[in-house]
């Protein structure tokens, strides 16, 4: 896993990890506050917004990586297909990480919405 982290670029992977930690921390905080006193539904949307931010940062990281790769290819003149495909593979690591963060944010958002349902809190189901 650490190999993927450093292959994806420490800057963007670090930013994405900070977004992931903030999203999970915010989810825990909102869940605790909902159990204690109830919190406004607007706070739930912040979890989803952080997930979307993670995806956008991941895509931005991929575009930066592709731009750098295309600049190097332009200077070199010709590049083997294997090297080109390897560059695409490495540049997509940040986007994949961003998608994982988005999917996790959607799952956490659904969990927070289930806390709002009084039937789920009492164990009655639907």
pLDDT digits (tens, 9 = 90+) for 18-64: 999 999 999 998 888 877 776 666 666 889 999 999 999 999 999 99
Q: What is the mean pLDDT of residues 85-103?
A: 92
Domain-embedded: residue 6: yes
Domain-embedded: residue 80: yes
Domain-embedded: residue 99: yes
Domain-embedded: residue 57: yes
Cα–Cα dist 58/111, whole Å = 24
Closest C-alpha to 46, from 61, 58, 62, 29: 29
Domain-embedded: residue 94: yes
Cα–Cα dist 5/88, whole Å = 16
Cα–Cα dist 42/54, whole Å = 19
Which domain, by its residues, includes 53? 2-121
Domain-embedded: residue 71: yes
Q: Minimum mean pLDDT among 27-36, 62-71, 92-101: which range?
A: 27-36
More confident residue, 125 or 94: 94
Domain-embedded: residue 126: no
Q: Say what the pLDDT of residue 97 is.
A: 95
**Residue 41, helix vs strand vs coil:** coil
Domain count, the chain: 1
Q: How many CB atoms lie within 10 A of CB 28?
A: 11
For residues 116 and 41, the answer to whether their CB atoms sit within 8 Å is: yes
Domain-embedded: residue 49: yes
65: which residues sit within 8 A by CB, 6+ positions away?
A: 9, 87, 90, 91, 94
Q: Say what the pLDDT of residue 123 is.
A: 55
Cα–Cα dist 40/46, whole Å = 11
């Amino acid at each position: 896993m650490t190999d993927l982290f450093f292959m994806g670029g420490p800057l963007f992977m670090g930013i994405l990890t900070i977004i992931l930690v903030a999203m999970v921390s915010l989810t825990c905080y909102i869940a605790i506050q909902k159990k204690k006193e109830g919190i406004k539904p607007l706070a739930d949307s912040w979890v989803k917004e952080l997930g979307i931010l993670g995806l956008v940062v991941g895509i931005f990281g991929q575009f930066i990586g592709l731009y750098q790769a295309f600049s190097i290819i332009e200077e070199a003149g010709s590049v083997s297909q294997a090297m080109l495909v390897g560059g695409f593979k490495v540049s997509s690591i940040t986007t994949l990480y961003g998608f994982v963060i988005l999917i996790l944010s959607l799952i956490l958002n659904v969990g927070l919405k289930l806390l709002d349902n009084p039937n789920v809190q009492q164990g009655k189901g639907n």
